[in-house]
Each structure stands twice: as structure tokens, then as C-alpha cells.
Structure 1
Amino acid sequence: MPWAERDAAAHVAVPTAVSDKYSRGVLGVVTGSSAYPGAAVLGVEAAARTGIGMIRYLGDATEPVLARRPEVVSAPGRVQAWLIGSGTDSQDLGLLAALFSDALASAEPVIADAGALESVALAPRRGVIVTPHFRELARMLAAGGTRVDVADIAADPGRWAVRAANRLGVTVLLKGATTWIAEPDGPQLSVSIAPPWTATAGAGDVLGGILGALLATNAATAVEPGMPARLAASAAVIHGLAASIASRGGPITALDIAERVPDAVRRLLSSESG
């Protein structure tokens, strides 16, 4: 089922006069590495611009993250959702592996990407959303005991998103020209609004940050049946709108997309009120 702007607008949490930084959502972030610090910067930037009360960054790229976003907290504490794995390699996690395990063992919803995907495949649980591209999904399925060619996933990504969700027991957001979202025994959604220029390095890290913010700001309902898929699809809509606004028919970078996220959110809220 296609997921549209009006659908996504219903999942944007708008603060009120009595909101504070804690009630507006706290996102824990374990992303980035010495090799890929930019992934952490992009995800944190996107989460901050989606609308969230606080971000706790606990990864290996603290210095560049704080240089870009000095309001980020670099100390552990209570969070309402986790974003893990972006900009990391499953073969070289070091101390991050323990942080991934802690997040996956917690009660909070988790978005897992890149280096955290195989950890999820080996120990899936309810409330986890994975955000692979085709090759990463093939590796996840192989880690879980199902071997599939990347070409087969590319030929029918919607079907493979559903199969992976049911096989792995997690919500799958499969990235591509059309983003496919599937929840175990739940809804299958699709989003196709991003321009082709969105196929650029770091765009997936931005998507992860947007989704992290939506999970944290909707923490009270984020793990209810059907909600992980709806929040994931809503993040894809915001991401695609931000990319369209940034592009205006021309080339863009991932940071361009992140910087246009507030414009995308305003557009969604306007469409809902209209």
C-alpha cells in the first residue's frame, strides 16, 4: 500500500506549551566510526532537524558530532529509542558491539543499520526496525540461515521485504528507488517520492536519523502492532520530501537533504491542516 504525505503527517509529534526536552523524546545514537565519522554527523543532524527534545550520542565520532551539533549530549542516560550501526562495519566493531547488544536487549525500539544488521539477524526481537539496502538484506538473510542472490532481491524488493520481515521477526525498511516497508504479519507499505538524485552517499544515514526521531517522539505507541511500519514509512516520506525540496531538479548531497527536513515537516503539517 502506498504511504502518502497525509498518512505521514499523522505521525509527526508537535510540541505543546507544556512540552519539555524529555517529553519531546530522547534518542540514543551509537553510529559512526573512525573510518566513517560522517555517518554519525548526518544521522544526528537529521534527527535534530526532524524535531526531538534531546540526542544522546555514544558512538566513536563524538568530536565531529559535537562540532556540528553542540547541543548533543555525550553522556549515557535514559532514552526512548535507539539508532545504531550506521557508519560501522560488522567485522570491526570493537567496543561498539557491547553498545549494540545493550540497545538490542533494552525495552526501547531500535533502528539498526549497516554494522548492526547481522547482530539483529542473530538475535531479533519485537520493536526493531532494520534499514538495509539490497546487498545488506542478502547478508542479513544469510546470517539468519537463508541464502538469496542480490539480483533476486532487486528483481522483486517488495516481496523480499515481506519475506525478510517474517523470516527475521523484525520490521524491514528496504531502501531503493521505491522504499518498501514490511512488518511481521503486518502491513506492507511503499514510498516512491524521492527524486533519483537521492541516490547519493550518506542519504541512508539521514533516513536513519529521521526515523530515530519519529520513534523517540512517538515512544508511547512506537511498538504497537503496525506502528513500526507506519513510522518507518513516514520517515521515508519526510526523507523523500526533503530530498525533493533540496534538489529542485538538480544534484544534491546528503547534508542538503538533512538541512531541508524542517521544510518537509512543515509541508506535512500544512497538508494535514489543509
Structure 2
Amino acid sequence: MSEWTAFTDDDAARWISVPAPDDDKYSRGVLGAITGSTSYPGAAVLSVQAAHRTGVGMVRYLGPRHPSELVLARRPEVVTADGRVQAWVIGSGIDEQALKPKRRARIIRALESGDPAVIDAGVLGLFAEHRLTAGGGGRTKSILTPHFSELVALLGRTGIDTDVDAVKQAPADWAVRAAEASGSVVLLKGNTTYIADPDGARLTVSGAPSWLATAGSGDVLGGVLGALVATHRDAIDADAGALAPLAATGALLHARAAELASAGGPIAALDVADALGSAIKSWLNSASH
């Protein structure tokens, strides 16, 4: 098994795309977001806000009326019409059991599109089930972002039984098992984040302030990851191995933004999303010296 490597700020700075003079909103990446729900509308706002603050060119938000209204109130530049995207973020703030047929079908279409995707929360199980039902095997272009209990449920859908206590005892090992079972990069969230690639890359990210353990922080992370994947679509198409360092970059950026927002005190998820631009700026400034 490959050894685990701590991912650094210098590593992450290499994966930040700075727009060139001739770039436009399309060449900078278009992210499709299927996040939030009537029950959890804030997840839509948090994921979309984070994606914009990470530097994506455009976000297409596809969701129910109420979260769509909240997203547009916060970010009027968001497009709520369907269309071409470079990547997806799917699942934050979605309860699989409450999915209506039309939205479930929309998610399945996104999963079948061949576009890279960040899969979070309530769609993790649906992703695993659809992959098995469709006879999927081999490598995907997806990043899965479970916490411990979600990893247990995800593995259960692939026929692997475990429990939260077992995952807590050996999170690195279970992240690898999930990556191999799903054919996807798995980002297992925790005090130390483990990023496992099914083809061998093993990366860790640590150092986030404990104040980051707050409602909605995972929704922010999903938006960050979605933006990074959308802006690096060409690199992913050329080599799916790009997904692991992109996932690690997203986790480290999330942590650095939390540090800036916190300054040693309590924070809320939207504070983290709003600090992402400053965190990126600090990396770019360091890289230029």
C-alpha cells in the first residue's frame, strides 16, 4: 500500500487557476450545482457561495424554488437554467429518502453525463447504488466526501459491513477501502482528512481550527471542491489522477479560510466561504516571492 503524504500549502498553490487575460466565464469553468432542498435550503447558498469565492467562472444552480430564490438573493449572477457544465457538485443538503422522482432523475442524468463530479451527503448512497445497478466498474471521475457515518452507509451499499467505531479506529484504512470499492477518490472528513485514490495516491490534510466543526462547513467544502474540479476539467480528462491533489487542495483551502475567518474565535460556515478569496490570495502572494 502507498504511504500517506501530508499535503502542503506549496502543493496546493500549484492547483489554483489564475485567469489569463483572454479567459472568459466559460473557459474559467462552469459548475453545475444540485444541492440544497426545501428542508435544507441553506446548503444551496453555502455551496454556491463557496464555489464563486474559489474562482469558478459560472455556477448553474438546479434546485427547488425556495433554495433557488435564496441562492439568487445572495448571488444574482447564478444561472438557474440547465445547460453545459464542466463539473458537478451534488448532494449537499439533500435527503435521499425525500427525493422526488423528477429531481432523482436529474441527479441520475448528471451522474451518467461523464462530467467529473463531487458527491456529498445524501447522494453518496445513490451514487453507490447507481454504480452497482448500472454494472459500473473501474475508475470514475468523482470525489466522494463522506464523514464517518456516511462512509459506513456508503460501504454498506457496496456490500461492505462496518461501523462508526471501526472507522474511527482506522480512518486511513477505511478511506482506502471505500476508494477501491467505489472506483473514486474518497475524501474522508475529520480532524485529519484522508484523501485516497483508487489507483494509489494517499494524501492527508490537517491543521484546521476546531471551530470549523460547525453546521454547513461540509456544504462549503463541496462548493470549493466543485469549483476546483470545474476549473481543471482538461487536466482531469487527461489524467483522473489529478482528482486526488485537487481534493487535497480543496480540503487545505477550506482549512486556511477557516483560520482566517476564525482568528482564534467562533465562526459560522458562511464566514468560511467568504474568507476563501483571501486564503487564495495569500497562497498566490507567497508563490510570487
Please, which of 205, 210, 224 is the counterpart of residue 191 of structure 1? Answer: 205
Residue of structure 2 equivalent to 1:259: 274
Residue of structure 2 equivalent to 1:31: 35
State the shift of 1:96 in Å.
1.9
Q: 1:82-135, CA deviations, whole angstroms, 9 ceiling, x for partnerless residues?
A: 000100011111122111101110121000111110121123461011101000
State the shift of 1:52 in Å.
1.1
Spell out the pairing of 1:175-190 with structure 2 (5 A cutoff): 175-190=189-204
Spell out the pairing of 1:102-113 with structure 2 (5 A cutoff): 102-113=109-120
Residue of structure 2 equivalent to 1:158: 172
Partner secondary structure for residue 82 of structure 2: coil
Residue of structure 2 equivalent to 1:247: 262
Relative to structure 2, which stretch is displaced further, 128-137 or 93-102? 93-102
State the shift of 1:176 in Å.
0.6
Q: 1:216-269, CA deviations, whole angstroms, 9 ceiling, x for partnerless residues?
A: 011101241421111000000110000000011111000010010001111111
5+ long unaligned stretches in structure 1 = none
Partner secondary structure for residue 91 of structure 1: helix
Q: How many residues align?
A: 274
1:150 and 1:120 map into 2 onto residues whose CA distance is: 20
Spell out the pairing of 1:1-274 with structure 2 (5 A cutoff): 1-60=5-64, 61-94=67-100, 95-124=102-131, 126-223=140-237, 224-274=239-289
Partner secondary structure for residue 24 of structure 1: coil
Given that 2:192 and 2:205 are in contact with CA atoms closer than 8 Å, whether structure 1 keeps it comes out as yes
1:235 and 1:271 map into 2 onto residues whose CA distance is: 18
2:271 and 2:176 map into 1 onto residues whose CA distance is: 31
State the shift of 1:22 in Å.
0.4
Given that 2:46 and 2:269 are in contact with CA atoms closer than 8 Å, whether structure 1 keeps it comes out as yes
Q: 1:135-162, CA deviations, whole angstroms, 9 ceiling, x for partnerless residues?
A: 0000000011111011111111111111
Given that 1:85 and 1:113 are in contact with CA atoms closer than 8 Å, whether structure 2 keeps it comes out as yes
Q: 1:12-51, CA deviations, whole angstroms, 9 ceiling, x for partnerless residues?
A: 1100110100000000000000000000000000000100
Partner secondary structure for residue 32 of structure 2: strand
Given that 1:50 and 1:262 are in contact with CA atoms closer than 8 Å, whether structure 2 keeps it comes out as yes
Please report the TM-score for the alignment, with normalisation by the length of structure 1: 0.98
Q: What letter matches 1:79 in structure 2?
A: V
Residue of structure 1 equivalent to 2:134: none
Given that 2:141 and 2:240 are in contact with CA atoms closer than 8 Å, whether structure 1 keeps it comes out as no
5+ long unaligned stretches in structure 2 = 132-138
**What percent of counterpart residues are identical?**
54
State the shift of 1:186 in Å.
2.2
2:184 and 2:257 map into 1 onto residues whose CA distance is: 27
State the shift of 1:170 in Å.
1.0
Question: Alignment RMSD, CA only?
Answer: 1.0
Given that 2:191 and 2:206 are in contact with CA atoms closer than 8 Å, whether structure 1 keeps it comes out as yes
